[in-house]
């Protein structure tokens, strides 16, 4: 069994018995590999976003959070590859890393033959031209709105003047060339938009800000049409 097949089989084995644990030794015997190989495979799955956690104790082992996993889905190989192509457009956005883990979760939940077909189709798909090198966004910024914590940032304006600010993250604005974090700036006591590549430092505080609503009309953007995103 190759590694791709084994990773898929590990997830299916733990999904079948969830929430009960499977020990590394049991899994190693089941798939005829070493315990160290199982531990590396589990680590790879965890890094790709599969919700596996370790349960300690004599009867412990690795558990899969069944409530946060998907049953086999009817995503076609072509749909999976279409999503992979679309992800290439997300470089430099707050959602690139999360989109990658979401795609891996979906592929892991596909029917096994379809997942293999998607992998084969992806290997036959090529993109022409130079790849644009876009600065990555720090994880603290990418998770800022969902985390709902006050951020302390260093920010350089267009004149290269630097300030330290505490902001309450409210949302994001994306353009073809840049991404911005929208937040309530405590230094200015007003709504402000911060270009992510001008944020020079970021730290997450323990403070939970009061709830604020971000409306389209609050974004005083003098150019272009503002469109609100929907996942439905």
Domain extents for the chain?
3-68, 77-123, 139-218
* Measured distance CA(27)–CA(42) in Å, rounded: 10
Domains 3-68 and 139-218 agree in fold: no
The CATH number given to 139-218 is 2.30.30
Report the range out of 57-61, 72-76, 165-169 with the highest average pLDDT.
Answer: 165-169
Q: Which of 76-85, 99-108, 163-172 has the highest mean pLDDT?
A: 163-172
* 171 membership: H or E segment, kind and range: strand 162-174
pLDDT higher for 142 or 49?
142
Of the ranges 47-61, 137-151, 153-167, 176-190, which one carries the lowest mean pLDDT score? 47-61
Output the furthest CA–CA distance in the chain (Å, rounded). Answer: 64
| 189, 190, 195, 197: CA torsion to nearest 10 | 10
Work out the percent of the chain whose per-residue pLDDT is above 70: 91
Per-residue pLDDT reduced to its tens digit, 191-226: 999 999 999 999 999 999 999 998 888 887 766 777
Asked if 148 and 209 touch (Cβ cutoff 8 Å), the reply is yes
Give the pTM. 0.63
The CATH fold assigned to 3-68 is Arc Repressor Mutant, subunit A (1.10.10)
CA distance 154 to 77: 44
Banded model confidence at residue 232, pLDDT cuts 50, 70, 90: low
Q: How confident is residue 190, by pLDDT bands cut at 50, 70 and 90?
A: very high
């Amino acid at each position: 069994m190759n590694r791709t097949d084994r990773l898929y089989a590990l997830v299916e084995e733990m999904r079948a018995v969830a929430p009960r644990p499977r020990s590394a030794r049991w899994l190693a015997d089941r798939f005829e590999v070493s315990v160290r190989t199982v531990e590396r495979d589990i680590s790879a799955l965890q890094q790709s976003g599969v919700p596996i956690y370790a349960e300690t104790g004599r009867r412990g082992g690795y558990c899969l959070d069944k409530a946060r996993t998907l049953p086999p889905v009817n995503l076609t190989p072509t749909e999976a590859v279409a999503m992979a192509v679309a992800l290439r457009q997300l470089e430099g956005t707050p959602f690139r890393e999360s989109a990658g883990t979401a795609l891996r979760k979906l592929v892991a939940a596909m029917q096994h033959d379809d997942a293999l077909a998607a992998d084969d189709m992806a290997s036959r798909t090529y993109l022409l031209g130079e790849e644009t090198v876009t600065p990555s966004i720090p994880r603290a910024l990418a998770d800022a709105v969902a985390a709902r914590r006050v951020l302390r940032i260093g920010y350089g304006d267009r004149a290269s003047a630097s300030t330290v600010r505490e902001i309450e993250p409210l949302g994001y604005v994306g353009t073809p060339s840049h991404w911005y974090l929208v937040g309530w700036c405590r230094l200015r006591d007003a709504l402000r938009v911060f270009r992510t590549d001008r944020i020079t430092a970021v730290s997450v505080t323990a403070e939970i800000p009061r709830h604020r609503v971000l409306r389209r009309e609050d974004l005083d953007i003098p150019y272009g049409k503002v469109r609100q995103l929907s996942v439905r």
